[in-house]
Amino acid sequence: MVRFGILGFGLHATKRLMPGFQRAKDSCVTAISRRDLGKAQDSARIYGIPFAFGSPAELCCSPEVDAVFVATPNACHLEDVLLALECGKPVLCEKPMGVNAQQCQKMLEAARKAGLVLGVAQVFRFAETTIRMRQRLESGQIGNPVFARCEFSYNGIQHPRQWINDPFLAGGGPIADVGVHCIDVLRFVLRDEVEGVYACGAFDAPPARMEAAAALTLQFRQGTLAVVLVSTRAAYRTPLEFVGEAGTLRADDGLSVERPVRLELFRKGVVETEEVTNDLAYARQVDAFAAAVEGKAEFAAPAEEGWRNQAVLDAAYRSLKTGCSEPIPAFGIPA
């Protein structure tokens, strides 16, 4: 059993992480930290967590913690990850891994120097929807993928995570917040890398500092063209679709963990359906990381994947400014 400490015990921790840990088999939460010690103690009492701390350093140094889950605002990830690694703790960092690719590279280099496992919480790599779609594409059910589409919208104006509306803490709008999920899912299912991005965005009336919605066109190395649509001004929706030379695979709620997802395969005028559920995605994620910490298996979302996703995000934000398609540079991750 790997004992986790959670840095940043906010809405995401209570809504998603704790239900996942409660269903996990090989991992548990023994400590949390919040800036307000009193709130940390209250949260620990509610969830039956043994230890509560008022600072990240206290949690990371605790002998009751085997691994650290960083769930703080995006701008805090670099400092928190480096702190945990310095304290000798493996780290699972919430997405996006940083606010730019250089930060991700620093984390990766620090983890390799320390000889510790560093992963990024791209939870949909552990969701049944994306696993099944990946398997179906790999088996050739739709032929060579020509187009792909992934959307993720939600209403962020009155969202309880108010830090997501602060450009310093968030590092960007919905491109960074949920676009990173779309980018990672497309890379994961297609087993391919993005080589270029074109982005256009919609902004609220001045003085808007972050995009409220965006459309990204991704060019994949093997020829697939993909579209990512994201917004924090629309109702929750997460359709996912892959169009191939021999058929189409789609799901209206592809990235939902709230309800069963219906996969539909259209091929030669015949529709095949399969119902799956992603309700164990968060539990699978932490158990998979626990297995990596114990040396039993490789983690499916290592830090390198967070770095690659961030390189795409950086290119998308450059494209918003330049109005041009932007290439994905190679930063030379050390072997």
Six-digit token string for 109 = 């280099």
pLDDT at 14 over 70: yes
Residue 327 binned pLDDT confidence (cut-offs 50, 70, 90): very high
pLDDT, residue 309, reads: 98
The answer to whether the beta carbons of residues 95 and 71 sit under 8 Å apart is no
Where b means 16+ CB within 10 Å and e means fewer, 270-305 reads eeeeeebebbbbbbbbbbbbbbbbeeeeebbbbbeb
Per residue in 295-310, pLDDT (tens digit) is 999 999 999 999 999 9
pLDDT, residue 329, reads: 83
The answer to whether the beta carbons of residues 195 and 219 sit under 8 Å apart is yes
SS3 assignment, position 95: coil
Sheet containing strand 67-70, strands side by side = 51-53, 27-33, 2-7, 67-70, 91-94, 118-121
pLDDT, residue 333, reads: 52
d(CA 291, CA 163): 32
Residue 332 binned pLDDT confidence (cut-offs 50, 70, 90): low
Domain 2-123+283-300 homologous superfamily, CATH: NAD(P)-binding Rossmann-like Domain (3.40.50.720)
d(CA 158, CA 166): 13
DSSP assignment of 114-170: HT--EEEE-GGGGSHHHHHHHHHHHTTTT-SEEEEEEEEEEE-TT-S-GGGG-HHHH
Six-digit token string for 165 = 């509306």
* Alpha-helical runs (H) found in 3-158: 11-12, 18-23, 37-47, 56-61, 77-86, 101-114, 128-138
Q: Could you give the percent of the chain with pLDDT greater than 90? A: 92
Residues 6+ apart with CB under 8 A from 260: 275, 276, 277
Residues 6+ apart with CB under 8 A from 280: 23, 126, 128
> What is the domain partition of the chain in residue ranges?
2-123+283-300, 128-277
Domain 128-277 homologous superfamily, CATH: Dihydrodipicolinate Reductase; domain 2 (3.30.360.10)
- Largest interatomic CA distance in the chain: 61
**C-alpha of 188 from chain center:** 12
